Amino acid sequence: MMQAVLVGDFKVNRLGFGAMRVLGSPDVWGPPKDPANARKVLRRAYELGANFFDTAESYGPQTGEMAIAEAMHPYPKDLVIGTKCGLLRPKPGRWDPDGRPEKLRKDLAGSLKRLRLDCLHLWQLHAPDPKVPFEESVGVLADARREGKVRHVGLSNVTLRQLEQARRIVPIVSVQNRYNIGDRHPEDVLKACEKLGIAFLPWYPLGDGAALKNRKVKEVAKKLEATPAQVALAWLLAKSPVMLPIPGTSSIAHLEENMGATSVRLSDEDMAAL
């Protein structure tokens, strides 16, 4: 039985699935390279217990959300989809923050349509835009929640100060920041999430592969007869009860391996070594 975590009033299994990689393109650009494979990976992720999917308007752009709807709609009752707004993709390789209210409102209308939902489950601001007052961007997410177009609001790539600022405007149910065994900043945000009962979604949970080469991870994996990816994910799960890792892959074999992390138990001694 997989452990669960609350994302607002949704109870979801820990692990989730990061759907950015299903497009199969290193630049996260264009439609899925292999649509049948993308469909298969998404469906298999749910089958294996991942009932939280993370996506964004900027994946593709837009094709990431379309791939989820294509594979999963009509959605199983317990599938929770988190999408994000506020990044512009002028060309492959570029991810430019655009937190202007007009852009966020356009993203909202588009995400609702592409995901075929009347109300987004979780709408996250992808990243603060230094050119736009943070409160102004967050205000759009708060309005959408008030209007019943989104159930819950989340943040991504924020500091503790920004989390506190946003919480004065709207209830925040999740924070998605970069965090993995080799890159543990910013723990102050994780600690605040624990205290407040906010889900923490570490992106880059495998450090885009770097965690798999970590010497200590490899040693513990060998001892437990697990794989390095499983140990890196089990470490995240053991680190905090609000942790909801969202590893991403376009490979069924990697997906199955990653989901196996939920059965890896790390002892206090393993945690100390890591």
Ligand X SMILES: NC(=O)c1ccc[n+]([C@@H]2O[C@H](COP(=O)([O-])OP(=O)(O)OC[C@H]3O[C@@H](n4cnc5c(N)ncnc54)[C@H](OP(=O)(O)O)[C@@H]3O)[C@@H](O)[C@H]2O)c1
Q: Which residues are catalytic?
A: 59
> Running DSSP on this structure, what letter comes out for residue 213?
G
Interatomic CA distance for residues 65 and 83, integer angstroms: 8
Nearer to ligand X, 157 or 272 (CB): 157
One character per residue 104-143, x = contact with ligand X (rule: CB under 6 A): ----------------------x-----------------
Nearer to ligand X, 117 or 244 (CB): 244
CB neighbourhood size of 40 (10 A): 16
How many residues bind ligand X (CB under 6 A)? The answer is 27
Applying the rule CB under 6 A, the residues between 245 and 274 that interact with ligand X are: 246-251, 254, 257-258
Applying the rule CB under 6 A, the residues between 57 and 96 that interact with ligand X are: none
H or E stretch at 189: helix 187-196
Shortest Cβ 124–ligand X spacing (Å): 7
Interatomic CA distance for residues 226 and 64, integer angstroms: 31
Helix count and strand count (H, E) for the chain: 10, 11
> Among residues 253, 268, 259, which one has the least CA distance to residue 14?
259
Check residue 97 and give left, alpha or beta (phi > 0: left; psi -120 to 50: alpha).
beta
Nearer to ligand X, 112 or 180 (CB): 180
Among 18, 60, 61, 154, binds ligand X (CB under 6 A): 18
Shortest Cβ 71–ligand X spacing (Å): 15
Shortest Cβ 54–ligand X spacing (Å): 4
Shortest Cβ 204–ligand X spacing (Å): 4
Nearer to ligand X, 88 or 268 (CB): 88
Nearer to ligand X, 44 or 254 (CB): 254
Contact by Cβ (8 Å): 166, 134: yes
CB neighbourhood size of 271 (10 A): 13
Shortest Cβ 221–ligand X spacing (Å): 11
Residue 131, SS3 per DSSP: coil
Applying the rule CB under 6 A, the residues between 182 and 241 that interact with ligand X are: 203-209, 212, 229
Applying the rule CB under 6 A, the residues between 149 and 178 that interact with ligand X are: 156-157, 176
* DSSP per-residue codes, 80-125: EEEEEE-EE-SSTT--EE---HHHHHHHHHHHHHHHT-SSEEEEEE
CB neighbourhood size of 148 (10 A): 9
Q: Which residue is nearest to ligand X (CB)?
A: 18
User: Which residues of this chain interact with ligand X, rule CB under 6 A?
Assistant: 18-21, 54, 126, 156-157, 176, 203-209, 212, 229, 246-251, 254, 257-258
